[in-house]
Amino acid sequence: MLSRLGQLGHIVRLRCNYCRTGPRFYRPEDLIVLVGDREVDRLRRRLTCEVCGRKDYVEIDSPLLTGQERQSVIVRRLVRVSTIRRPIWREELL
Ligand SMILES: [Zn+2]
The span from the CA of 30 to the CA of 33, in Å, is 5
Contact 48, 60 (CB under 8 A): no
pLDDT-derived band at 43, boundaries 50, 70, 90: confident
The span from the CA of 42 to the CA of 26, in Å, is 16
In the prediction, which pLDDT does 56 show? 92
Distance 92 CA to ligand 1 centre (A): 41
The span from the CA of 30 to the CA of 42, in Å, is 16
Q: What would the pLDDT profile of 70-94 be if each residue is shown by its tens digit? A: 889 999 999 999 999 999 999 999 9
Q: What would the pLDDT profile of 4-38 be if each residue is shown by its tens digit? A: 999 998 999 999 999 998 899 999 999 999 889 99
Distance 91 CA to ligand 1 centre (A): 38
Distance 48 CA to ligand 1 centre (A): 8
Distance 17 CA to ligand 1 centre (A): 7
Distance 56 CA to ligand 1 centre (A): 9
| Domain spans of the chain, in order of start | 2-74
pLDDT-derived band at 51, boundaries 50, 70, 90: very high
For 63-84, what is the HEC assignment? CCCCHHHHHHCCEECCCCCCCC
pLDDT-derived band at 45, boundaries 50, 70, 90: confident
pLDDT-derived band at 39, boundaries 50, 70, 90: very high
